[in-house]
Amino acid sequence: MTAAGAATAALAPALTACGAETPGGDTKLKLVAADYGDNAANSSKKYWSSLAKAFESKNKGIKVDVQVYSWTEVDKKVADMVAAGKAPDLAQIGAYADFAAAGKLYSADQLLSIPTQADFISGIARAGEVHRVQYGLPFVSSTRLLFYNKKLFAKAGVAKAPESWDELQAAAVKLKAAGVQIPFGLPLGPEEAPAEMMMWILSAGGGYTDKNSTYTIDSEANVKAFKWLRDELVGKGLVGPGDPARTNRQDVFDAFTRGEVGMLNGHPTLMQQAKAKRIDFDTAPLPGYAGKAKATMGVADWMMAFRQNGHREQIGKFLDFVYSKDNVLSFCTDYRLLPVTTAASEAMRAERANADLWPFLGQLTNAEFYPADKTSWAKVSKTVKEKIGMAVRPGGDPESILSEIQREATATENTGR
């Protein structure tokens, strides 16, 4: 789940209701939210419309106006609203740190009841903190697993899911020999390159930052990961005919659902897409450099509340409702995502209908998240999208490219931008 900016068409209508009072004197809250559906039939708009009606029926005097935008434009929509002095009351988007650093957000303890705040899974809640104060409220999360096509594995004589990079490469060699078009899908294009990068560097024992939250993008482990990708996967023709630097996540997901990909790293949404296309697949923990990876990547999307319109009490009531167990579980079940609250997670584990999500839930306790608390992360992520794919091209220099990203990250961090 990633967010990217886009043009601001239809912005004016979105601004007029921000912080408005209805003719009857009710307080109108405006929420701008991301769309988790992949077509009009399953748009998140339906969920939010139903939720708003249920909330309004129990909370007279508060109305909720929700506008839903695609992930390619929602972050930019909110940023433009804030820049124009027309912040929504609530935004459910991909990043919060810039707004928190600018003093534009309410903190969690200013909004939520104690039971609601205490119900957040601690590791995810900490990812929403800036200077140890929580401003980002996790909305949903996901982890990553290795997906593999069981039919193609059988055709290639691959007996089990790989647990190490050497086993992954050996399986990819067999898949290629069996005529599989894309033995391993490697999307390092601009859609979600930071996620694909994070999975590989974690599997190598590295990461974006160290325990002190200092960027370590050009660390020895990270360089090792990209040299291995360049030499052992891309260089040996095991990622298909496309250029990984120009290959987006959804491109690879679509190819997997067509039966063209042997293996790839994926999140829970891919299960729905693959099942719809009748692909016989299974999942396994991500392979690591010398065995199963010790950590996987976790992703959280964020809810935040803006101070501008002064509706703290009404926002708090609405958020307590949003984060009730049944509402969290309903959204996550519909979109095959992971709950961010303990109560909903326990309920999901108890429902056999959600058994396909249990392996992802099991990874959540060891998941590591983007350094979303850094105001510099948005710019660093953009730089990764632009440059990291070049590191695995024939003749590419991972050490040089990672060092360049590190220098830009350090400079951005030092200037506070």
Q: In sequence order, what DSSP letters do the residues of 154-215 get, joined into one string?
A: HHHT--S---BHHHHHHHHHHHHHTT-SEEEE---STTTHHHHHHHHHHHTT--SB-TTS-B
Determine the pLDDT at residue 7. 24
Is residue 238 very low, low, confident or very high in pLDDT (cuts 50, 70, 90)? very high
Calculate mean pLDDT across residues 264-281: 94
Determine the pLDDT at residue 1. 37
Determine the pLDDT at residue 131. 87
Residues 188-202: tens digit of each pLDDT: 998 889 999 999 999
Is residue 321 very low, low, confident or very high in pLDDT (cuts 50, 70, 90)? very high
Residues 67-87: tens digit of each pLDDT: 999 987 898 899 999 999 999
Q: How far apart are CA 216 and CA 239, in angstroms?
A: 27
Same fold, 11-142+299-367 and 145-285+376-415: yes
Pairing status of strand 296-305 against strand 367-369: parallel
Q: How far apart are CA 339 and CA 300, in angstroms?
A: 10
Q: How far apart are CA 4 and CA 70, in angstroms?
A: 9
Q: Does 147 have pLDDT greater than 70?
A: yes
Would you put residue 291 in left (φ > 0), alpha (ψ -120 to 50) or beta? left
Beta bridge partners of residue 374, listed in sequence order:
none
Residues 149-173: tens digit of each pLDDT: 999 999 999 999 999 999 999 999 9
Determine the pLDDT at residue 292. 83
Q: Does 65 have pLDDT greater than 50?
A: yes
Q: Does 13 have pLDDT greater than 70?
A: no
Determine the pLDDT at residue 25. 67
Q: Residue 97 has which token pair?
A: 């740190």
DSSP three-state, residue 218: coil
Residues 275-294: tens digit of each pLDDT: 999 999 999 999 999 888 88
Q: Does 59 have pLDDT greater than 70?
A: yes
Q: Tokens 């209908």 — which residue?
A: 353
Which candidate, 96, 196, 138, places its Cα nearest to that of 328? Answer: 138
Determine the pLDDT at residue 389. 96
> Helices then strands (H, E): number in the chain?
19, 14
Q: Are 223 and 402 in contact (CB under 8 A)?
A: yes
Residues 377-392: tens digit of each pLDDT: 988 998 999 999 999 9
Cβ–Cβ contacts within 10 Å for residue 369, how many?
A: 19
CATH of domain 145-285+376-415: 3.40.190.10
- Between residues 179 and 124, which one has the greater pLDDT? 179
Right CATH for 11-142+299-367 from 3.40.50.1820, 3.40.50.2300, 3.40.190.10, 3.40.605.10 = 3.40.190.10
Domain boundaries along the sequence of the chain: 11-142+299-367, 145-285+376-415
